[in-house]
Amino acid sequence: MSRPSGQLDKKKREALLHQIQRILHEQAVQAPVYHLGFPIGVGPRVDDIMATAIPGFYMSPYEDLKLRRP
């Protein structure tokens, strides 16, 4: 980013800026904006995890979580 500011030739500076724009476009356009993370209950007391009820999609809410009897 500091290379174009030190360049005095207008054509070379423009070429450097286009190169920076191309690199940023290649690296940032296809980047994920966010990743949804769902809290799930996992452990020895959990009877049915329900994390794989609908593969790759929604996991059941805490209201559907079933615990084992002690």
- Taking the whole predicted model, whether its pTM rises above 0.75 is answered as no
| Count of domains forming the chain | 2
pLDDT of 32 reads 63
Question: How far apart are alpha carbons 1 and 9 in whole angstroms?
Answer: 16
Domain hosting residue 15, numbered range: 1-31
Would you give the DSSP letter of residue 67?
Answer: E
Question: Does 41 lie in the same domain as 15?
Answer: no
pLDDT of 62 reads 62
Question: Does 40 lie in the same domain as 27?
Answer: no
The H or E element spanning position 22 is helix 10-28
The pLDDT tens digits of the residues spanning 23-44 come to 888 887 666 666 666 666 667 7
